[in-house]
A and B are shown apart, each in its own frame.
Chain A
Amino acid sequence: MKKGDIVVLGVIAAVFILSIVMLTSFSKNGSRVIVKQDNKVVYDQSITKNNTVDTGSNVVVIENKAVYMKQSNCKNQICVKSDKISKKGESIICLPNKVIVEIK
């Protein structure tokens, strides 16, 4: 490690803190759940409404003001392993099936 490396690490730490500060000051509870497939909106409802959305390839569950991906027929299953989302701007994405769940 040289002196410049410490500076680089410092800059990274600063960007990290800045991003956390910005996110926490902007994050609000979401109001609407939007499910898109191939860039087309297939579901757009309030987050307070408990529901299950089946896009054919993926199953999205909306429960107690939180949303998660219950099932997917994709190979990597990254979307299924993702955490529940509830805040405005959060999203779950299934890249192989081009399914996007976002909260607005």
Chain B
Amino acid sequence: MFAKQGDSRNKVNIKRLTVYAMFVAICLIIGYLENLLSITVLSGVPGAKLGLSNAMVLMLVYADDKKGAWGVNIARIVLSALLFGSPISFLFSLSGGLASLAVAHILSRLKSVSVIGASMASAVTHNVFQLLAATVFMGVSIAYYVPVLIVFGAVCGGVCGLFSQIVLNRTKSKNMFRF
């Protein structure tokens, strides 16, 4: 909805819009590349990926823009399902994505947890909730897979957290997240 000239009530914040659009676009591209360059072959764990698009969302959480983080997260999940996924993969990534962001949101309120810790916790949550979704929607128990996914979540989450930390430190002086 674009505001008419002179109407200040519905004015769209152009910078906010641009940064969010950029983040969603980066998330989609990263997600697509991760699917192509799946680390399944490297690790022997089916379906494993790094989850760098989650790192983008965590950046917004730790730049203290929680609302933006939720918006970008939901937009990226819906769009990537429409572009590359199926209804089932949508349900999977929705349950994982919402739960992991909720955990990151809560942890980011604690002063003693940095983005690395929040990233690890949210990656583990993501993996566990995807398994739960598989159990609920497909009616099978794959509990057997939980330990592997916990280790993978911790490692990949740690890498993503480190990445977020570096980018946040470098953009701090540039006021990227000041709208």
Contact = CB atoms under 8 A, between A and B. Distances in A.
Interface residues of B, number: 35
Given A5-B113, A78-B47, A93-B142, A12 B134 contact: no
A87 interface: yes
B146 A91 contact: no
Chain A interface bracket (under 10, 10 to 19, 20 to 34, 35 or more): 20 to 34
B6 interface: no
B124 A12 contact: yes
Contact of B40 (A4, A78, A87): A78
B2 interface: no
A16 B40 contact: no
A81 B47 CA distance: 10
Contacts of B113: 2, 4-5, 7-8
Contact of A16 (B117, B139, B141, B150): B150
A45 B26 CA distance: 48
A8 B117 contact: yes
A9 B151 CA distance: 11
Contacts of A5: 113-114, 116-117, 120
A84 to B, nearest CB: 13
B110 interface: yes
B142 A95 contact: no
A1 B116 contact: yes
A100 interface: yes
B88 interface: yes
A12 B114 contact: no
Contacts of A76: 38
Q: Which 6 A-B pairs have the closest CB atoms?
A: A5-B117, A4-B112, A4-B113, A8-B117, A78-B46, A2-B114
6 contacts: A8-B117, A8-B118, A12-B121, A39-B139, A79-B46, A93-B138
